[in-house]
Amino acid sequence: MHTTSEAVKTGTSTIGITFDGGVVVGADHRATMGHFIANKSVQKLFRIADNMALTTAGLVGHAQSLSRTLAAELRLYELKQGNLMTVKGAATLTANILVGRPHYVQLLIVGVDESGPSVFSIDSAGGSIPDAYCATGSGSPYMYGVLEDQYRDGMDEKSALQVAAKSLLASAQRDAASGNGMDLAVITAEKGFQFLSPEQVTDLLSSL
């Protein structure tokens, strides 16, 4: 993720993985300006509804603006309709926002609804693609190496968390624009959105 309008590359590592009953979502903490590490604790993983999360790669200002807009739109929908928006609906809404006003971002919309767990990758031009798992940002080639080797259909929550953590570790080792720790969260129909605490992330990494 970058901090100036001059830098438009999506330097970052974010990931979304479906498992049996939910989704694991994660992101690293590093923000860069070119080759300079501008910040080591940037938030790139946002809870935008009780059943949904957004991850961001790209310009910090655009990412933060989008996260606020989406959280507000989803809350308004919930108040008006009396139920949560579907993940596909949120992905379509996000894509439409980007078509109307392009942003230098690459996003993941992940969550759980009546159709089950979903991961949508959304590019800066408003393209929206669903998949069982996805990685974004400059660290994505290294994460896909882990994902292609270790992802399995019907994984349980523990296995999905381990694969997500291994993927983010791989990107931190090889991608200069990624690193300085990670945020991880789990979304299920039963418990909704749950961030892992720093202690839980440390315990998970020590178990790998």
Catalytic residue positions, numbered:
12
Give the integer Cα–Cα distance in Å for 32 and 4. Answer: 9
CA contacts within 13 A on the Cβ side of 20: 7
29-60 burial, b for 16+ CB within 10 Å, e for fewer? bbbbeeeeebeeebebbbbbbebbbbbbbbbb
| Token code pair at residue 9 | 């590359």
Q: Which residues contact 143 (CB under 8 A, 6 or more apart)?
A: 13, 15, 135, 167, 168, 170, 171
| Token code pair at residue 173 | 């080792």
Give the integer Cα–Cα distance in Å for 11 and 4. Answer: 12
Residue appearing with tokens 């230098």: 104
| Token code pair at residue 153 | 């259909």
Count CB-CB contacts under 10 A for residue 207. 10
